Structure 1
Amino acid sequence: MATKELRPEANTFESKFGGLTVRGRAHSLSAWFVLALRLMMGYAFLYSGWTKIAAAEPFNAAGYLTNVPAASPATGLFNWMGTTPWFVDFVNVAVPWGEFFIGLGLLVGAFVRLAAFFGAFMMLTFYLGNWSVEHGFINGDFAYMLVFLAVAAFGAGRILGLDSIIEQQKVDGTPLVERYPALRYVLG
């Protein structure tokens, strides 16, 4: 595999937060790994959502919501959600269809930052709902939340995805994201 000589600033990233600056330099193969993470999470969520949508029995989150471990910092919130009929009805639609559309967005690379944000939010709620710290605070739900955030941070929708095409669509001769800069928060 051959790579072209890159400018010194290519593949370099930097972030400043709270007076702290971090810098890094990505390997030229990093794009393939970011793409693999996007596709892996896309397939996992699309499949999970589809199995709930197509199941013989309708998806029902009430039992999950009312049986969150007592040690979870969100037990009271989950109990309220599970005993509030309109909220259970909402969750029964939002979880399967949310998983399905998050997965679809990641697989085709469209609205990836938006999909990854909601994927990370869902994983945070699963983390709190599946609370178990016997082996430490880091578990699969937490790790998947970080994968979603990495997919969003690296703009994985621009890597063999539709976001790179959507961003360049012209509106009155100006690329879409230049005309509407806020779209950078949902595309990429």
Structure 2
Amino acid sequence: MATNELKSGSNTFESRLGGIHVTGKAHSLSAWFVLSLRLMMGYAFLHAGWDKIVKPFDSSGYLVHAAGANGNPLESMFLWMGQTTWFVEFANIAVPWGELLIGLGLLVGALVRLAAFFGALMMAMFYFGNWSIEHGIINGDFAYMLVFLAVAAFGAGRILGLDTFIENYELGGEKLIEKYPRLDYILG
């Protein structure tokens, strides 16, 4: 099959939400693009996390000062986080190690939906922390949040990733994903 042809029934996705039904057919190269998104975000987060681990990192200045610019709607929440000792100590560990583990999970394709969920959550926090709407409400942080959600939605861990092997691992003669179907929320 040529890469510009679509087989009927293959690469089809659909959803129903609020009474609206959508259906689409993906191009045969779509898996490569989804894989590219997963690897790109994996590398970016692994690199960002590693930098914060090997160099001194303190979130308090960012939380107190950066989020207060440009009329941030969550300014008081960020100010509270930056002035609360236990939260700053938590963030100083959670942000670098979270970025590193999210990046690693995406690069090897393990627990991809879980990693993508936390990546999207971090990007939502960065979106509000870096609030700037001079050029509209969509910025890079918002776009990266959507990339994480797309990686999760398309089950990118099943594309040359370890999630396929984890799901198919047999436990007591039964595939892990069949024995524990809720794993589908964190694998894929």
Bucket of the pairwise TM-score, normalised by the shorter protein: over 0.9
The Cα RMSD (Å) is 1.4
Residue 132 in structure 1 maps to residue 139 in structure 2: no
Q: What SS is found at the alignment partner of 2:138?
A: coil
Q: Deviations over 1:49-86 (max 9, x none)?
A: 0011011xx21000000011251111111011000000
Give the equivalent residue in structure 1 for 2:180: 180
Q: Is the partner of 2:120 in helix, strand or coil?
A: helix
* Matched AA of 2:152: A
Counterpart selection for 2:59 from 55, 61, 71 = 61
Aligned to 2:77: 77
Stretches (4+) displaced over 6 A: none
Percentage of matched positions with identical amino acids:
68
Determine the structure 2 residue equivalent to 1:114.
114
CA offsets 1:14-68 (integer angstroms, 9 cap, x no match):
000011111100000000000000000000000000011011xx21000000011
Deviation at 1:8, TM superposition (A): 2.3
| 1:152 lines up with 2:161 in the alignment | no
How much has 1:101 moved relative to structure 2? 0.2
| Distance in 2, Cα, partners of 1:180 & 1:75 | 41
Q: Which residue of the partner structure matches residue 47 of structure 2?
A: 47
TM-score by length of 2: 0.95
**Which amino acid is the alignment partner of residue 150 of structure 2?**
A
Cα distance in 2, alignment partners of residues 2 and 142 from structure 1: 35
Residue 18 (structure 2) pairs with residue 18 (structure 1): yes
TM value normalised by structure 1 = 0.95
Aligned to 1:32: 32
Judge which range, 63-72 or 22-31, deviates more: 63-72
Q: 1:113-135 CA deviation, whole Å, 9 max, x = no partner? A: 00000000000000000000010
CA distance in 2, matches of 1:102, 1:52: 14
CA distance in 1: counterparts of 2:137 and 2:72, whole angstroms: 11
Structure 2 gap segments, 5+ residues each: none
Q: Report the Cα offset of residue 9 of structure 1.
A: 1.8
Number of residues paired by the alignment? 185
* Structure 1: distance between partners of 2:183 and 2:164: 12
Letter in 2 for 1:183: L
In structure 2, what residue type is equivalent to 1:187? L
The separation in 2 between residues aligned to 1:142 and 1:121, in whole angstroms, is 11
**Distance in 2, Cα, partners of 1:180 & 1:112:** 17
- Deviation string 1:137-156 (CA, Å, 9 cap, x unpaired) is 00000000000000000000
Alignment-mate amino acid for residue 57 of structure 2:
F
Distance 2:136 2:157 in 1: 33
- Cα offset for 1:6? 7.3
The residue number in structure 2 matching 1:88 is: 88
